[in-house]
Homo-oligomer: A and B are copies of this chain.
Amino acid sequence: MTITSDMIRGHTDTIILAHLEEQDSYGYQINKSIQERTGYILKDATLYTAFRRLEDVEYITSYWGDGDSGARRRYYTITKKGRQALLEMKKEWQEAKAIIDKLIHMEEGYYE
């Protein structure tokens, strides 16, 4: 749970899209799922800011679903454009990981 704001920054969108790739979902549920799987939780404001941002670029669309238990829910669906973007984001993450690993000397065979 020691992950910081700056560490998560730039990955929020990817995390959300990856979730929606599996199935349509809504804010609260996404956050619950994140917490269950990692112990980490996105801040409300961060999450909803991200939804707006992703809708603006048409990576996701939304619709109101019924809250059969609890309050009303806004469901999100990933678009085709969103799926393409997600693929790209995942590739970028792999690259970024390798670069950062190299720069903080976490990779194998560093000793030159």
Contacts and interface: CB of A to CB of B under 8 A. Distances in A.
A6 B89 CA distance: 12
Contacts of A93: 7, 100, 104, 106
Nearest to A107: B37
Interface residues of A, number: 36
Instruction: Please report whether the interface of chain A is mostly helix, strand, loop or mixed according to DSSP.
Output: helix
A61 to B, nearest CB: 21
A102 B11 CA distance: 12
Given A103-B15, A103-B18, A7 B90 contact: no
A92 to B, nearest CB: 5
A37 B99 CA distance: 9
Interface of A: 2-11, 14-15, 18-19, 21-22, 34, 37-38, 40, 89-97, 99-100, 102-106
